[in-house]
Amino acid sequence: MSTIRFDGRVAIVTGAGGGLGREYALELARRGARVVVNDLGAARDGTGHSDAALAVVEAIRSAGGEAMADGGNVADYDQMTEMVARAREAWGGVHILINNAGVLRDKTFAKMEAADFEFVVRVHLLGSAFATKACWETFREQNYGRVLMTASSTGLFGNFGQANYGAAKMGLAGLTKTLSLEGARNDIRVNTIAPTAGTRMTQDLFPQAAFEAFSPEKVAPGALYLVSDDAPTNVILGAGAGVFQTSYVTLTPGALLEGDDLSPEGVAAHLSAITDRTGEIVPQSGAEQAMTIGRLLQG
């Protein structure tokens, strides 16, 4: 089993002041990467500031690595372009981006303010898009880039009281799928990780024993593999407590409805055939839905 290294690579990790992002940044640096440690330093709900990024940078430098702190807000595109420009000026390029920054403002949808829905979507979904867009032309120029989006089981499967978070996280899985197609010709590989970890985001959700079992260092191996030279692309990797899983968006063969069956009543009558998973596929692009329909029409 060959050792995965990042010598000569420049990596940006957003939300790297603590938790998962901190662990990603430290491990990338241990394996030879120069690391931009981005963190606004806000609390879990996105308010306030701190010097968390500076502490991670100091830890990397004390261990003999190279790092710089960045306090840019991922939800501000101009600040993301400035962050990338600083990295390029200092180290000549950017090769890896891990979009990890996030916030929580949990409430049931009935009680949630529209502003809280918008804010969470802006940080997670738009923030990841902005950071990626800021790196994208550099990746294309280099004919090399590795991007990791952070989704969640909430986005993939739902979770009570997290409509804003779930919408953003599922959006990131969709963003990954399109960018993995658009980036392929320039060796830009884009993946999604759905971590379960004991961090400040989840510290009041886990019992203490579970909090310790789900430590961030047990997620980091999956994240680092997905931004390595030999990474796959368009993978959704679940990770927690040393367990790694994959999730898929699938498509059933479906059923062709004609005549009187081409009606709401017909859909209801044939729902078991429509939802039958026998022979389902994992489409590699949206075009495959039309292709499966075409095959049914051809008989």
Where in the sequence numbering do the catalytic residues fall?
165
Secondary structure, 3-state, 125-190? HHHHHHHHHHHHHHHHHHCCEEEEEECCHHHHHCCCCEHHHHHHHHHHHHHHHHHHHHCHHHCEEE
Question: Which is nearest to 71 in space by CA: 126, 122, 14?
Answer: 14
* Two tokens, residue 23: 């662990």
Backbone angles phi, psi at 100, to 5 degrees: -120, -20
Question: How far apart, in whole angstroms, are the C-alpha atoms of residue 7 and residue 79?
Answer: 27
* Two tokens, residue 63: 């261990």
Secondary structure, 3-state, 217-282? HHCHHHHHHCCCCCCCCCCEEEEECCEEEEECCCECCCCCCCHHHCCHHHHHHCHHHHCCCCCCEC
